[in-house]
Every structure is written in structure tokens, then in C-alpha cells.
Amino acid sequence: MAKNALCIGINDYPGTQSDLKGCVNDANDWAAVLQGRGFSTKLLLDAQATKAAMVSAITGLVSSAQNGDTVAITFSGHGTYAPDKSGDESDGLDEALCPYDIFQGNALIDDELHQLFQQRKTGVRVILISDSCHSGTVLRNAPSDPDADAPRVRFLPMGAWVPEDQLPRAASGRPLTTLPISTTTSPWAGVITPGGDLLMAGCEEGPNKFSYDARFNNRSNGAFTYYALKTLKTLPAAATYADWHAAIRRYLPSANYPQVPQVMGARRALKLNVLA
């Protein structure tokens, strides 16, 4: 049984004025830990992580996996919303990850990710770890100084990359650059399938739910990634994903990082041994 991983980290978002600091460290940290647990790991960092490169890497990883193999994908970067063009979203928005070339309109939306994952063969287990956020109201929580050491949220509002004539409109006709999102279900829940799939996310979905780009011991990381890897080191050999999530919840939410980590999957999947 093969174990393969793709670790994506994007700090540099040209044209958006919304660079981050901890995402490349996150990707490198996940890659090192996964390699130590027997995964063959590929990295996509900053300019390497265009939408085309992300799609190609995920396609290769998922389509080549065989029955019994495990695929792990970690993403650290901005999340966003995109106007829904297929009509399958009740709120008129698709959830999306932000590749390096997001400013060219290249969001990787949930529908596309679902299609990529559908290429798997029977018996292939997929673990998706997303240290980003998708709440349209969280921008006000970002510090005014992008060089400050204060935590910065990992959300890119639509107004930062969607042309004004393509933005949703309020009743007044004014373009909406951000929208309050009322759902409490993770946008990536529809990507995973019943059985062995798992989603781990840095925060819950909804207004004021977000993941932080933070700093620990003079080094930048995502708060979720930092505590996920910190607790992973302390878990017993037989620990399950439910155990791992419970360990992370001892640290998050906190006064400094009021985010609630999520783990989603079938009951059987939650009882699997971590990264086995």
C-alpha cells in the first residue's frame, strides 16, 4: 500500500496586497512530518502553486493511486468565495482555494476539487487538510499593518481578485466584495466521500469563522498547523483521527486564536489510525 502526499503553501499573492507569512513554513512542516511517516511527498510553494500546477499535481496523485493507497493533500493559503456559475449553490457562491495566480481569476473551486477527487479508484483513501478560511465577513479582523506580528486571517475577499462587473450585486445594485455566509457546514464536506475519506480544517464555516496566520517562537505558521503538528508528536501509536482532533481542541480555540478546528468523515474513518 503506497502513501503519497502533496503539500501546498502560498505566502505570495501578487496583485492582491494580501500576502501571508506562515504558509510556506506550514507546507514544509507537513512535508517533513509526512515523510517521516512513510509518505512520498511533493511540494508546491508560492509561484509553483498556480491553479494549473495544483490541478495537475492533484490529478496525478489521485488517479495513480491504487486500492489500499492513501493520498494526503495539505493546503495552506487563502480561501475565498467565487460567484457560482453552475447554479448548484443556494447562496450563489462557490467556495474556493486561492492558487498563486488567483489575481488572474484562477480560483480552484469546490466543484472542481470534487471532480478531481472523483478520479480515484475504489479503496483509495484521501485526507484533505486545509489551513485556510472561507468566511466572507472576517476581513475586518485582519491587522491594518501587513508587516505586523499580529495574527492575520487567511481569507481573500472577492473584491481583491474578481472584476467588479462579475461581482454579485446588492439590492441597491452596489457590487458586493464580501458576503455574510450563513451555512455552518464546511464547504469541503461535499468533496470527500463516505468511507475512508477525511477532512481536517483549521476552522468551522460561517460568519466570523476563520483560520489565523500566526507566529510562534519567532517563526510564522498557521495556528491550526502549528497545534496539529505539536499534538501529533504526543499521540500514542494507536491514536485515531478523533483522538487527534480532541488533542488539537485542547489548544484551539484560544484567546489569541478563536478558531474551532474541524474534522469530518464517516464514523469508521474517524476511528482509523492517524496517517497510517
Residue 133 annotated to the active site:
yes
Query: Distance between CA atoms of 18 and 78, rounded to whole angstroms?
Result: 9
Q: Which residues have CB under 8 Å from 140's CB, separation 6+?
A: none
Domains and CATH numbers, the chain: 3-270 (3.40.50.1460)
> Which residue out of 7, 23, 98, 133 is catalytically annotated?
133
pLDDT at 144: 33
- Give one DSSP letter per residue of 210-242, joined into a string: --EEEEETTEEEEHHHHHHHHHHTTS-TT-BHH
State yes or no: cis peptide before 253, omega within 30 of 0. Answer: yes
Q: What is the pLDDT of residue 194?
A: 56
Predicted confidence (pLDDT) per residue in 175-234, tens digit: 444 544 444 444 455 556 655 688 888 887 665 567 888 899 999 999 999 999 999 999
Which entry of 7, 23, 78, 245 is annotated as an active-site residue?
78
pLDDT at 187: 46
Distance of CA 268 to the CA centre of its chain: 23
Q: Please, are residues 198 and 275 in contact by the beta-carbon 8 Å criterion? A: no
What is the full DSSP assignment across 60-110?
A: HHHHH--TT-EEEEEEES-EEEEE-SSS--TTSEEEEE--TTGGGT--EEH
CA-to-CA separations, 21 to 41, 144, 146, 219, in angstroms, rounded: 22, 15, 10, 9
Question: Is 23 tagged catalytic?
Answer: no
- Beta-carbon contacts of residue 148 (< 8 Å; ≥ 6 apart): none
* Predicted local confidence at residue 266, as pLDDT: 83
Cα dihedral angle (16, 18, 24, 27), rounded to 10 degrees?
-90
Binning pLDDT at 50, 70 and 90, where does residue 159 land? low
pTM given for the model: 0.81
pLDDT at 11: 95
